[in-house]
A and B are shown apart, each in its own frame.
Chain A
Amino acid sequence: MSLLSIDNLQTHFFTSAGVVKAVDGVSYSVDRGEVLAVVGESGSGKSVTGLSVMGLIEPPGRIAGGSIRFDGKEIANLPQAQMRKLRGARIAMIFQDPMMTLNPVLRVETQMIETIKAHRSMSWNKAWAHCRDALGRVGIPSPDERMRAYPHQFSGGMRQRVAIAIALLNKPDLIIADEPTTALDVTIQAQILHLMQQLVEEDGTGLVWITHDLSVVAGFADRVAVMYAGEIVEQATTDGLITAPRHPYSRGLIGSVPSRNVRGTRLAQIPGGPPPPLNRPDGCRFAPRCTFRKQGCEAAQEIRDDVRCWRVADLPALEEVSA
């Protein structure tokens, strides 16, 4: 039994302009100690999926269908009081912009200790020591002094480390990391990535790593789920996806990873943009941008061995993208 398994999830926003099906039939699962990367363009529904798991979708949005099972228990549309007990204790989430995720007017110690006290009773002193150790563990120098500091006294990378320390405080079984390195410098990105990898390995935590940058994923994630316009178009092992992407969209993504391109050649890009969420084509949503499109794509929707492309078997063999 998987730690988290999402099945045919539907999360919709009922706006005055119409129903935005931000997540439209997404299924994926993560085991303990496993790292699943969720990649896709902006607006494909990666964050909304993560927030649905956390029970943090706010009106006009709601989970309109499907199931989310965590540790064997159905948690989609769980009452807020029960969901609150899971959040931050058994499922933690880290967000993209470390400049914005810590409350600017509260000390780091306050923001850490409250995370413990929300879930178990512990003396302030004991909780404080525990939090200090957690800061040390994520590589913050002189944690004793830093406990009393305010977020603006940290650099971006250090703030993300604080956020990670907070997420790990109650030893969660699952962490959802929503592009936690996107806002950081490349060197800091690598450090944070390394840190996360090490921490989840030590604790045997399941990790959902949301990103729109495939190059971050290689050598880190066990599996990759590729999202496009509210759907998962392909799931594969990381090696499998990188060496042999099968869905035309994944092929395009791999083509646009810089390291696979020869220096000097232009970055391969998928022409066009994703369909507007209120007006998506029937059938294959990627069809309008697909180089392999032919008649019938506008009607087809089915998944053939883990790939949402009805013609996956007859697509031409992958050309070597790097010359």
Chain B
Amino acid sequence: MHEMAICESIRGILEEEAARQDFRKVGRVCLEIGRLSAVEVEALKFGFDVVMRGSLAGDARLEIVETEGRAWCMPCGQSVPIAARFDPCPDCGSHQLQVTGGEEMKIRELEVS
């Protein structure tokens, strides 16, 4: 769904950075995508190729590092792993959780020339 819009944002950032950091081509894009970020990684890969076609990143390789979902369990007072937002605490079963990790949607680094 909004993976296309995300790819367009990435393209915009690449074009801006190219002007600012003086490069013409992007050979590799490394993203950090959290497992709770609602981004479908397969759809993102597909959208990336479509959106980058004809741009400075037309031949770029896409690398995605997925980060785990984590939350703070209020009853337990500890950080716990979660696979989805509606998951209970794996220790005490509570839903009083505050998500602390896994929502990332970042461009980590680029290989440019």
Binding partners A and B: no
Residues of A within 8 A of B (CB): none
Residues of B within 8 A of A (CB): none
